[in-house]
Amino acid sequence: MTGLSLADVLDLLGAALVLAGCFLCFAAALGILRFPDVVSRMHAATKPQTLGLILLAAGVEVSLRSWASFGTLVLIAALQLATAPVSAHLVGRTVYRTDQVRHDLLVRDDLAHDLEAAGFHLGPAPEDEDQPASSDDDRRLS
């Protein structure tokens, strides 16, 4: 325990960063399993996709210490930062448009207000003739 060289310190730092990234993955998976609807599950899922991946890339780079891996890891982090908001936006848009939001858990729903003000309307269920709307609601919110 006398002298830690710079390489030792960097190895420990890299392992700690990767451990933090793994913990973010674990926290996100816990949220995925426990949260009540798709929107809140998306909230949990975005943590390892951006911050967790950046922590992992930093940990690998600090541990490997080569310029070739630096380029690849910067590319990984940049691509993830560019694509994660797009996919999250599309998933959230589809969630809201197909009405899979738990409205009873919302305090405010500004988007519904704005959509109604802009002339949008909540369309009728296409299979209203086949089954009652209440069972459809139960199936959707369960």
Partner 1 sequence: MSPVHVAVLVMVGIGAVLLVVAASMTVARMARGPSSLDRVVAADVLVAVVIATLAADAIVNDHATTLPIMLVLSLLGFAGAVSIARFVAERDKAVRWEDPGTRPKDGAQ
Q: How many CB atoms lie within 10 A of CB 43?
A: 14
Q: How many CB atoms lie within 10 A of CB 49?
A: 19
Q: How many residues bind partner 1 (CB under 8 A)?
A: 74
Sites for partner 1 among residues 2-21 (CB under 8 A): 4, 8, 11-12, 14-16, 18-19, 21
Asked whether 66 and 42 are in contact (CB, 8 A), the reply is: no
Binding partner 1 by CB under 8 A: which of 3, 6, 66, 104? 66
Question: Within the chain, what is the greatest distance between any pair of CA atoms?
Answer: 79
When asked if residue 87 is in the footprint of partner 1 (CB under 8 A), the reply is: yes
Binding partner 1 by CB under 8 A: which of 3, 6, 54, 68? 68
Tell me the CA distances in angstroms from 113 to 50, 109, 118, 119, one per residue in order: 31, 7, 9, 10
Q: How far is the CB of 112 from partner 1 (least distance, A)?
A: 8
When asked if residue 32 is in the footprint of partner 1 (CB under 8 A), the reply is: yes
Closest C-alpha to 88, from 132, 53, 40, 129: 40
When asked if residue 117 is in the footprint of partner 1 (CB under 8 A), the reply is: no
Sites for partner 1 among residues 43-62 (CB under 8 A): 45, 48-49, 52-53, 56-57, 59-60
When asked if residue 102 is in the footprint of partner 1 (CB under 8 A), the reply is: no
Binding partner 1 by CB under 8 A: which of 75, 103, 109, 113? 75
Q: For residues 45 and 27, what is the distance between their CA atoms, to the nearest angstrom? A: 9
Residue placing its CB nearer to partner 1 in the complex, 108 or 142: 142
